[in-house]
Amino acid sequence: MTHLKMVQSVAGVFYLPHFIAQQLGAFRDEGLTVEFVTRFRQRWELLESGEVDIVIAGPTRNMRLQVREGRRMLAFCAALRANPWFLIGRRPAPDFTWADLVGRTVLGFADDPQGTCLRWVLLQHGIGPDQVTVIAGRDTASEIDSFRAGQGDYLLHSLHTAAPLVATGEAAVIRELATPTGPVPWSLYATLPDVARTRRAELEAFTRAIARALRWVAAEQASSVAALLVPYFPDWTLASLTDVIGTYKPLNIWPRDPLIPRADWEHYNEILLATSWLPRPVAYEDQVDASFAEQAMTALNSTGR
C-alpha cells in the first residue's frame, strides 16, 4: 500500500468526499492509505514544506500568488463546486432581501472567499461594500462566541459551525449562498507541480477514489451519507448530520465528477475581479490539470462504478 498524507483546515461536514472514499474502501481498493491531518490556516505551508502530499482548499490564495509572484500550485481534483456558507440571523426572516443588510454588521471572514462572495452578491443587488460591515473574528469559534454574546446582526458561516446554534434556537438560517454565488471551484484537491510529476500514479489513484465517492454521494440519500460519516463526527447525532447533508445536497455543493469545470473557474475569476480581490484573471491552465479527473472518469465509466 502506498501512503499519502492530506491536510485540511477543518474536519468539516462539507469536506466529506475523502471521508466517504475512506469509508467506502475506495482508497484501499486503489492500493492507498491516506492519512488526514487537520491544521487551521496552515494547509499550504505544510504542502510547500513537503510535510503533506495533498491539500484540500480553495484556489483563491494561489490565484493571488500566481498574479503577484508567478507561483504555481496544481489543482487536480474537484471537492466542492458551490459556496457552502449561509447567512445566519438571530430569528427567522421569511421576507428577507439583501437590502436588509444595509447598515448592518455581519460576523465572518471578511477578506476570505466567504466575505468576498457575499460582497459580490451584494454588488449584484446594487449594494456597495461600504454599506454593509463585515467583521472577522480570530476563527470560526470566536465568531460564534461573539454572536452568542450579542455582537453583530448576522453570521456568515457554514452549517458545520452554525447548525448547533440553529438547533438550540439561538439562530436561524436566513439565506444560502450557493445559489446566488453560482457554481465555483470552492474547494479542490491540490498538490505541488513536482509532486504531480513524481507521484502521478498515486494521485491518479487518489482521484479515482474521490471520483467513486462523489458518484456515490450523488446517488445516495442524505441519511445513507450521514451514516458513513458518523465515525468522523462523534459529537454529532445521526439526525443532525442527515439534516445538514440533506440541506447541502440540493444545492449541488458536491460535484458528481472530479473534473473542475472551466466555466466555474472563469466565473470565479469574474467574482474576484469585480470585488478587486484580483487585479487580473488567472488562466485555468495555470492552476488546473484536468487530465487526472479525465483519466478517473474514463476509468470509472469503463468499470461501471
Q: Which tens digits make up the pLDDT trace of 115-134?
A: 999 999 999 999 999 999 99
Q: Which of 157, 181, 205 is the last residue of a domain?
A: 181
Residues 32 and 47: their CA atoms lie apart, in Å, by 19
Q: Which residues contact 70 (CB under 8 A, 6 or more apart)?
A: none
65 and 14 both lie in a single domain: yes
Residues 162 and 140 sit within 8 Å (Cβ to Cβ)? no
Instruction: Tell me, yes or no, whether 168 and 201 share the same domain.
Output: no
For the chain, residues with pLDDT lower than 50 are: none
Helix locations, 125-261, DSSP H:
140-148, 159-167, 178-181, 193-198, 200-219, 222-229, 238-248
Domain match, 290 and 209 both:
yes
The span from the CA of 131 to the CA of 144, in Å, is 23
Give the pLDDT confidence score for residue 43 in this predicted structure. 85
- The parent domain of residue 137 ranges over 85-181
Q: State which of 126, 161, 181 marks the end of a domain.
A: 181
What is the model's pLDDT at position 273? 97
Last residue of a domain, one of 151, 181, 211: 181
Same domain? 89 vs 78: no
Q: Does 78 share its domain with 196? A: yes
> Percentage of residues in the chain with pLDDT exceeding 90?
85
CA distance linking residue 116 with residue 277, whole number of Å: 8
Query: Which amino acid is present at 127?
Result: I
- Residue 197 has a pLDDT of 95
Quick one: pLDDT at residue 256?
96
Looking at the chain, how many residues does it have?
305
Residues 299 and 190 in one domain: yes
Note whether 170 and 277 are same-domain residues. no
Structurally, the chain folds into a number of domains equal to 2
**Nearest in space to 108 (alpha carbons), one of 142, 82, 57, 61:** 142
208 with 296, same domain: the answer is: yes
| Beta bridge partners of residue 88, listed in sequence order | 155, 173
Specify whether 121 is located in the same domain as 248.
Answer: no
Residues 143 and 284 in one domain: no
Q: Identify the pLDDT of residue 301.
A: 86
Supply the CATH number for residue 255's domain: 3.40.190.10
Predicted local distance difference test score (pLDDT) of residue 220? 97
* Residue whose C-alpha is closest to residue 213's, from 34, 42, 2, 7: 34
Shared-domain flag, residues 67 and 113 = no
Of 88, 59, 5, the residue nearest 269 (C-alpha) = 59
Q: How confident is the model at residue 304, as a pLDDT?
A: 63
Q: Are residues 159 and 194 in the same domain?
A: no
